[in-house]
Amino acid sequence: MGSSTPFLEIFAQEPQAATGVPFARFMELAMYHPTAGYYTSARRRVGRDRGADFYTATSFNPVFGELVVAAAAGLLAPDEPGRYEFVEVGAEPGGGVLKDIAHPFAGYRTVTLGQPLEASGRCVVFSNELFDAQPFHRVVFRRGAWQELGVARQEGRLREVELPAFSPELAAAADRLPRTPPEDYRIDLPLRAVPLLERIVAPSWTGLFLAFDYGRTWAQLAGDYPTGTGRTYSHQRMGGDLLAKPGEQDLTCHICWDWLVDVLQQRGFGEAVVESQEAFFTRRAAGALASLLAAEASRFSRRKQALQQLLHPGNMGQKFQALHALRD
């Protein structure tokens, strides 16, 4: 990676660029810098062909959207969905889970990242792969202590370095780290997902919160993933070099469902449930599933293929989870 790349010139302006900035700050620049960020640039990110970097459940619309509508309406029952506005947070420009899909809600709108939510009254607040796109911190256990990992520009290249002390954001959460992990155990900490959810549920709206994403419990992240969960996506391929092509590839890690459940409980929601995408739709949208299968019984159609992608455990059925909770 040569020193003339635009991102490196931007990164060089960071006060500690030569010695190391927290990985979360590097990722913030790589993903959201106004001119060099992956998510702020005019590029095709989501799709099922090699011209895009990854696909999401919305890539299997209209089936995914139809199942979301059915499940949300069922979770709101016995209340009428027509009394609720459906608000989607973090949809891709020009996209959306309910785009061109008939629904029973009072209205539908999308809120892009960075826009205020401005929700009030009765709402269904929905997101799909929103929280995994937030900058995360990285730590490694070495020489009997946790070390925060950062990124430095040295000899014209980006390199992973150990930072001399925890950044303030990580220091505030350091008591969550396990005390005696194996040497070189790494954890990718999705700390930014927590304040994002707090901003989403802070307004005084009532109704259903529903988020699809991929994550694990804190016990799993702290004990079952010795190399961390951070990874890249580019042209439909997953990679492990998080410092390659900054601003040109997706960076992500597993979110911690426990932390998000805690936020919902603190903000007055009832029981918050996390279940696999397969289980969620099988339990919450059973009628819509039965109708779809009956209508396509005599053929293996595109709609059946979409359903297989969304529900099969080997595809997206177990890899993704749904978090839902109601606030009266």
Instruction: Confirm whether 42 is domain-assigned.
Output: yes
User: What is the CA angle 264-268-272, rounded to 5?
Assistant: 40
pLDDT in tens, 165-222: 999 999 999 999 999 999 999 999 999 999 999 999 998 899 999 999 999 999 999 9
User: Does 189 reside within a domain?
Assistant: yes
Residue 162 CB: number of other CB atoms within 10 A?
13
151-169 pLDDT tens trace:
999 998 999 999 999 999 9
- Could you report the per-residue pLDDT of 90-124, keeping only the tens digit for each? 987 778 999 999 999 999 999 987 788 888 999 99
Q: Do the domain assignments include residue 1?
A: no
Q: Does residue 230 lie within any of the structural domains? A: yes
Instruction: Show the CA angle centred on residue 295, arms to residues 294 and 299, nearest 5°.
Output: 95
CATH number for the domain including 88?
A: 3.40.50.12710
314 part of a folded domain: yes
Host domain of residue 131: 6-327
Q: How confident is the model at residue 1 (pLDDT cuts 50, 70, 90)?
A: very low
- pTM confidence score: 0.93
* Residue 187: strand, helix, or coil: strand
Strand, helix or coil for residue 173: coil
Partners of 189 in the β-ladder:
137
Number of domains in the chain: 1
